[in-house]
Structure formats: C-alpha cells, structure tokens
Amino acid sequence: MTPQFLARERLVRRLVLELGHQHPRSDFTLRGVRVIPRYDVEALPHPVDVEIAGGEILAITPSEEPDSGQWLVGGLVDSHVHTQSTERQTLLHLAYGVTGVREMCGFGWMPERRDRIADGLELGPRMLVAGHILASVPLNIFATVVETPDQVFEQVQAQAAAGFEAVKVHNRLDLELYDAARAAADQYVLPLIGHVPHEVSVVHALRSGQRTFEHLKGYYQDWDLELSPDPWVEATAQSEAWNCPTLVLVRAGRTGDEARETVEAASGLWDPALVEEWGIDYERAWVNQRIFEQCQGIMADLIPVSDRWLAGTDSGGGERMLLPGDALHREIELMEQLGLSRNTVLHAATHAIAEAHPEADFPSAVKAGQPADLLLLEGDPRTDRTALKDPVEVIAAGRRLNRGDRAEMLRRLRAVDEVEFGEHDLVDLLSEDWDDHPNQLHQQAAQEFLRSR
C-alpha cells in the first residue's frame, strides 16, 4: 500500500462517516406501493402502505392512497465478497442497490463493524462475516495456516468466540483437516462454507453437510479443469447445499472491449492504484473461458435437481475487472443466461441468503418484523430488467438514499482521486488518530510508513 493510497482511504473513510450522519436511520411510511415479499411467491394483490421504524418494517397495511406505480422489493445481497481492500466498497455497494454482503474472509475488526451497521450506528450494507480462511498453505493475507486437527479446532474455537458466523475452507486443505473443520464447525454451531479442497471429493463434501459451495469448484477439478467423476448430481439433489457460482469472476474482462468498458466504469470509483493492476492476462483468460464452459454444463445438470442458489461475485479481494455493486448486476445477468429462471436468480440475489444462513440477521422477506433492507423501484423487476439498476430509493437498515443522494455520493467519491498530496499532506493524514478507521491492515501500513521516514 502506497502512502497515497492510504491518504485516499482516509478521505474516503471521512466521506463514509459524513454520509452516515447526513442519512441517519429514520422512521417513515411508503404509501401506495406494490410489494413483492419474495421472488418465489406472488406479489401482494393491492397497493399497500409500508411503515418503517427503528430500521425494521413495522407494518404493511392496505393503502387508501392511489397506486404510486412503484414497487418495493428486497435489497440486493452479494453473497461472496472481500471487504478488506478499500472503504470505497461501502459506498459502491449502496450506490448499486446492494444492501447486504457475505464477507468470505473475515479479519478481526469486521464483526464489530457488522454489529455497528446492523444497529444503525454506521452506514453500510448488512454483513455476514465468515472467519479467516483455513488452508494448509500460506495465501498471502487470506489464510490461517493449519497443520493438525488440533490446530483446526483451536482456530474454529477462536473464530466462534470472536463472533464470526461461518467457517470457510480453501481448496488447499488436506482431507484430514477438512474433516476436522467439519467436526469443529458442528461443535461450535457454525456452518462450513467455501471451496472443495483438492483432496476432498465434492460428494464427500456434500454428504458431510458443507453448507455452501463457492465457484462450483469440486464439481470441476481445480487442477485440470475437468469435471469431477463423482456422482454429484444425485448427491446435490439429496443435500441441502447451496451453490454460489460467481460466474462473473471468470467472465469479467474476457475481451479487450469489455475490459476497457469495465475500466472506464471504474474510473474515479475504484482506487486508481487498484485499477492499474487490472489488465488482460491472456493465459488466465483462456483458463477462465474453459472454467465458464464447464460451469455451463454443471449448471445445466444441477438446475433440474436444485433450487438452492446464491448470487455472489468475489469482488474486493484483488480479482481483476470486478467493480463492487456493478459486478452483482452482471452476475444476475449471467446466472439467467446459464438457465436459471428470472425469479430464481432474483431470489438468489436477495432473500436466499436468509435461507442459506438462517442464523444471520438478513431479512427473509419484505414483511413486518424484518430488517428494512429494501429497494423502491419504478418497475416490476420480474419483467423489467432495467428496474433494479436505477432504484428510486435504496433503503439500508432504515437509511434512505434516493437517486440524487447516490449521485452526489459517487461525485464526492470521484473527487477523492482529484486530490494531490504533498509530502506534508501525507504525513498529516497518516498521523491522524485512526480510531475511526476500522481497517487494521490500513492502520498497520500507515504506521510502517511513518516509522520509515
């Protein structure tokens, strides 16, 4: 991390805090709206009034107002993100209508931030935070290395005590340690989620009760990109597992034109130091194309036997060509292109997370008693594919962001990249009290820079 990047992060964090004060949780009533409680049930037959208070839906009652022509639906949820890179993700998710995220590699500061957002003390999408990834080999900052079953149990116990909500395993994990992670997760009442390790068959993982499967790994073999020979269609049909295919991860920036479009969209929104790392890796592009082809076949086989799908992107973790928020809209399109029905995809991108993780605090439907994570739209998203992309309002835990609010938020985010920092500016910014900046990786990098001067 360069000092310039860290200085921009300080400014973005200030912006997040300021916008949180400008858009507090409030009590209000939406009148004469059409409600789709969930995408696997019918819309309410008549316009209703929706009363919201304390960050929750208080009541839904028949409306005496004329039909407003607006639709109220659940906020979008990205079920596979990494939020350690930059504070910009907070604003980008909300700007694109993403009111919830599942963090797939938790760091120590994240449970507290999750709680502050849920309690209305901080602006941001609702979070589920999995523990730090367990692996048999180092993965830069993204894994805790475990070598024995005892170490696995120690790590899972520590994660449970720290408030993490799931145990995530990586594909580089020995079979013995995978089985230990499964047993430890059961002991501490946490779901096991993540990749299927190379030494573990996807059928073994399904029958072991792994809750969610990421990237369809295990259905295809990570080391040679061939389909697993296991009878995984039958095993999936007999399981309660959820699949989060993250198709956009292998589809993003696959051509020069698409790469340029993505970079242009990210300009001024994603940090320029991170955008500079993007580019077309032609060898990786070939591998991704092969993975995408395998995913097409896997989904064609699984769709008839399973309706358990989550929409996720893997954005924020250093992968190229993935702009948080925008990437989820592209994932929705890809999931539908690969054969899932429109309603199934919309459910995967909203309330399915509450079924996959009933122990978490995500809304299960647009109904009384549920958190107010909502989108107010001008059209019915089941038939109007443009409706989700430009909500009249984004409502996150009772905080209201209309179109003008979101446009101003993005304008101010772009303005951060226009600031030029002199040496004294950098020192002043990085010498500030970082207590209001939860990202400990940023804090440590700032301290290292100051010590080096």
How confident is the model at residue 436, as a pLDDT? 85
How confident is the model at residue 265, as a pLDDT? 80
Residue-wise pLDDT for 273-317, tens only, equals 888 877 666 667 788 889 999 999 999 999 999 999 999 999 998
Residue-wise pLDDT for 20-45, tens only, equals 999 999 999 999 999 999 999 999 99
C-alpha to C-alpha distance for 195 and 180, rounded to whole angstroms: 15
C-alpha to C-alpha distance for 205 and 194, rounded to whole angstroms: 10
How confident is the model at residue 282, as a pLDDT? 63
Which residues, in sequence order, are CB contacts of 398 under 8 Å at separation 6+? 25, 26, 27, 52, 53, 54, 55, 56, 120, 372
H or E segment and range at residue 35: strand 28-35
- State the pTM of this model: 0.96
> Could you tell me the domains of the chain?
3-22+424-452 (no CATH), 75-362 (3.20.20.140)
How confident is the model at residue 253, as a pLDDT? 60
Residue-wise pLDDT for 238-262, tens only, equals 999 999 999 999 986 666 677 777 8
How confident is the model at residue 280, as a pLDDT? 62
Low-confidence stretches of the chain (pLDDT beneath 70): 252-256, 279-283
